[in-house]
Structure 1
């Protein structure tokens, strides 16, 4: 057994104990995050060479080690309240933190037996990988609901290998979840870190990655994940912002955007686009950089990403099928994407690969270009990994090897003109795309073998999962139609 596997099993073994005490998987991981940070701060403060004081002495790890019983529970709770009032990375990790481990005996076991016996200081890949693996296990727990914040790492790896972020890039994920895309980009850009100059190494550590996450609990997991992978300064600003990325144009631009925005039909705010229309919700904001007004969250994230991407920057975004075929605002946005950006690649993902049910998604790869009188998209290459492909999370999970052919045909780092069609990879020129009804980019051309040959049908459990996914996706579409009709009726009532 590897050290990482041993550590993950050790960390996970306590999840069952705490579940029996009423602490869920997400809360358990949060409690670990608080304790891990305090233990790391203790390791930094007591190391023989260049000791570093990360947290004020009043919140020292040694005080937790010395406390017992009810005193420990009270002290730990006071630590969380005090640390949550601080700025920077500390504030992100401890924001709104609460002690959910009410049994002092269990809390003492967590501190003494689980956390204190291991070394967790940032800079070593072992414990960062163990924390990432723990997040993965939490995402696979159906009852936790954590899967919505976790993109399968096989998909992240393939996307990163295609985009090829470098040490010169700045990378942002406006819906970062637990930080998987940022970690993947950093790992790729750091491959030759031993040959980098000090300035480049510092950029990789503190200036390379930036994320935004709406949910404070998930943001703290992302911040800790980055810290354990040596991607943040524990005494500095947090690379993870806790806010709704859709609220406003941040004013900053990044050379790479990697994202898997949350799926769902509605935005959490009232959007007022440049067309002057409203999609009414809780709070009203106006974004003149948005060319269409819609309550569809994915379309709004796509518009946001189109805004924050720098000229000649490149983006890879996971988006549901409806973004490719929805009329109205969807059609308007696709026309803009084809004209003002180079939408050079679409990867049609199979079903059964996300922890959240009912997800039928694609990855859109596009580059931002300077203003031009002619469309930037000349050809869009579509790789169909969905037709005649069947995956489940447990019996037949999607692995990185299943995406090898796509990455090879993508020709990372080379001109798209060098690509060639091959089976699942087919090119469509601009004229073909713009002539399609509503500029529908949900393109299929492969023959579905299961429709013609009963022997080609997948196993019953895969069929059942695909039926559930199709029904869930259909309900999402019906909900979107209902929202649109409701919004249109509201508009007419005010005229």
Structure 2
């Protein structure tokens, strides 16, 4: 059976545990990724005689497996990798890690055990059942590892990986689309592990011609491996310093130019002039100005600009400082703006990147329409402030799928949204001395919630605050009259207490109607999605793209609900659960739904997975359909009986615990039945009953024993019923046909979850209204005169009490 993505990720990350201690993440990534590469190409070559990677005899992963326990395992692994590298011109790419390094891997038996265990983990990953070409399973696993390595490597080593969420934005806003030719070229002068190039290439239907350069030797090797794992073996990745020794040049010695460029250069590089005299640059990259000697941000931007052909487009990640810093950078910025090369700027949230916590921006370059943006009457620059859209993920921030989609939609379609995006004319930029700091042009701050002094003094809720909820009143036109009534000019009074606001809204007919309407697009989407027609060979990535785009479009005009929030519900569920199901189905078909996998722990280890069923002491894991879904559809009566038995057990346990608590104090009737741990047990009660002489104590002991017996009987009845139900469920799996599996998977699992999530989103939106109404009511519930009178009344009451006591203030 095909391996699930999450299972593969878990196994790969477990392999990292074998290496921790002897080196940091920036080093052990070389070992783990090399073994992943060896396993992948070996499996692929075995199943595909036309594989682009030739695996000669004695140079496969299977040859590594044969070395487990070998005293010379490290040296022999090196030789196996070297043989494969030699055969495929991969010297310096896959043989970077030294598997015989005693300082990192230990000496003697430590090295033997560590490498044997490491190989054993990869040996247990069956990649032969997965088509990496169709679903990028291995490429995605590679990115998963890279993300974790970057997280663990910290600030100094995180530069080799650009978060995939940011890569996706660059790939989409740079202008690559379904009409882009396969012959088009894409270039990254600081390509790191190659993720940006791959994301850009993915945007074209048949990929692009890839060119990259990376200064760090180990990182350029990662990029080469990444290309092969993503079936881009012909990608051209070169080692070297892009600024001082650019690799890609035309026959005339000038820089080669490309259709597209994407890049995440090192921020504010202080050594960018190493090996380079910018004043005498033979490639003419600095005609618009020479960047400061100790800050190379614009050096990379100017290199990329020079590397674009006359219709070329680029997208570059740079720190926010490039938008407003002065002196030499200000002159360069002005020249680029005046030439019209900058199409747009996207401000990103802070703390997205692994090498730094500072906020960054994406500068989008476009030579093809530069003239239309240049000059005093030019179109100017499209700006997006996306700094507020993210979620916390550990100690970093991360863009959600909805954040990415919103940024791309707004930028590519030129949509102006309040506090988010706008087209800034060139004359406004000129008036600001070519300063491009986004807050000068877009105020993304939330409107201040101002208190009304008159309302605090005289009472009433300001109508301006109620009017601000106009989006809700348009959907619930009579609800406002249910909640508020006119009090005085410009103010209203509450008709419902703050505590009853939410229940009043939920019970209102207009809300019930809205809740029903909000599910109509989902129902129509579910019918048209035809999820039960998923077949072997389908592409999971194409499937989720089509599904998510369709769902997003259906909620485009639904009032109150954000189409991006609904889109996120699907994307979250896809990432958490649904994609694993689909990946298995497109590999093994619907019969995979009935598979129950036996769980067997390795010798001396505990099970790493929680079993779904235990039948005759054998533990099973359901691959796709949880037993709860089987129970809900086929065994409702049995489950109801089980619930009743559970209730009986709970009652018996509560009765027993209450009786013991009442009678086990120091002078209680069960005090002599306490065991060494000061607990009353059935054993201690039985033993004391044989010795007791007091009639009242004996009666209490008999009652305790009776309650213990009742609890034991209830436990046995529940266990017997649970075992019988488990056995019936186990047998039912074997009876499932394709239609039954489709119903369980599509209706009971996927669509039921999504429907519940959308219903919860409707309630969340309603809660926002309820919270605001409640806040306004509580804020102005007692005007100052009432508060003053209340204080005076309380003071008089206190004075009265003091006088009655013979005291006076």
Are positions 1:174 and 2:185 aligned together? no
The TM-score normalised by the length of structure 1 is: 0.75
Give 1:62 shift: 4.0
Q: What is the CA-CA distance between 1:83 and the residue it aligns to?
A: 6.2
Deviation at 1:374?
A: 8.9
Q: CA deviation at 1:404?
A: 3.0
Cα distance in 1 between the residues matched to 2:194 and 2:335: 29
Offset of residue 8 of structure 1 = 0.7
Please, what TM-score do these two structures have when normalized by structure 2?
Answer: 0.47
In 1, Cα distance between equivalents of 2:140 and 2:62: 26
Partners of 2:3 and 2:402 in 1: CA distance: 22
**Structure 2 counterparts to residues 277-288 of structure 1, below 5 A:** 287-288=283-284
Contact 1:155–1:400 (8 Å) recurs in 2: no
In structure 1, how many angstroms separate the alpha carbons of the residues matched to 2:53 and 2:259?
34
Measured in 2, the distance between the counterparts of 1:374 and 1:409 equals 19
In 2: Cα distance, 1:155 partner to 1:66 partner:
42
SS in structure 2 at match of 1:246: coil
Q: Which of the residues 410, 424, 430 maps onto 2:426?
A: 430
Equivalenced residue count is 419
Look up the SS of the partner of 1:219 in the other structure.
Answer: helix
Aligned to 1:189: 204
Using the alignment, how far apart are the partners of 2:167 and 2:5 within structure 1?
20
CA contact (8 A) 2:340 2:371 kept: no
Paired residues of 1:42 and 1:60 also in contact (CA < 8 A): yes
1:492 maps to which residue? none
Q: CA deviation at 1:307?
A: 0.8
Distance 1:370 1:446 in 2: 24
| C-alpha distance in structure 2 between counterparts of 1:129 and 1:360, whole Å | 26
Partners of 2:284 and 2:88 in 1: how far apart? 31
The answer to which structure, 1 or 2, has the higher relative contact order (CA under 8 A, 6+ apart) is 1
- After superposition, where does 1:141-290 map in structure 2 within 5 Å? 141=152, 143=154, 145-165=156-176, 166-168=180-182, 169-190=184-205, 201=206, 204=207, 208-233=209-234, 239-249=236-246, 250-251=248-249, 252-268=256-272, 269-274=274-279, 287-290=283-286
Asked whether the equivalents of residues 153 and 180 of structure 1 are also in contact (C-alpha less than 8 Å), the reply is yes
SS of residue paired to 2:334: helix
State whether structure 2 residue 122 is matched by structure 1 residue 123.
no
Task: Please tell me the root mean square deviation across aligned C-alpha atoms, in Å.
Answer: 3.3
- Residues 461-493 of structure 1: CA deviation (Å, up to 9, x unaligned): xxxxxxxxxxxxxxxxxxxxxxxxxxxxxxxxx
1:107/1:300 CA distance change after superposition, 3 Å: same
How many Å separate the matches in 2 of 1:12 and 1:368?
43
Q: Deviations over 1:173-202 (max 9, x none)?
A: 111122221121222213xxxxxxxxxx5x
Alignment of 1:289-304 (within 5 A): 289-291=285-287, 292-293=289-290, 294-295=292-293, 296-304=295-303
SS at match of 1:256: strand
SS at 1:93's partner residue?
coil
Which residue matches 1:108? 116
Whether 1:33 aligns to 2:17 is no
Aligned residue number for residue 77 of structure 1: 78
Deviations 1:317-341 (A, max 9, x none): 1111221122232122212322334
| Contact persistence 2:373–2:380 (CA under 8 A) | no
Write the distance in 1 (CA, Å) between the matches of 2:409 and 2:366: 19
CA distance in 1, matches of 2:7, 2:276: 48
More helix per residue: 1 or 2?
2
The answer for the alignment partner of 1:484 in structure 2 is none
Deviations 1:289-348 (A, max 9, x none): 222333322111001101111111111111112211222321222123223343121111
Query: Unaligned stretches of 5+ in structure 1?
Result: 191-200, 277-284, 456-495
Give the 3-state SS of the residue equivalent to 1:427 in structure 2.
Answer: strand
- TM superposition shift of 1:450: 8.2
Counterparts of 1:429-448 in structure 2, within 5 Å, are: 429-437=425-433, 439-444=434-439, 445-447=441-443
- Tell me how far apart the structure 2 counterparts of residues 406 and 374 of structure 1 sit (CA, whole Å): 21
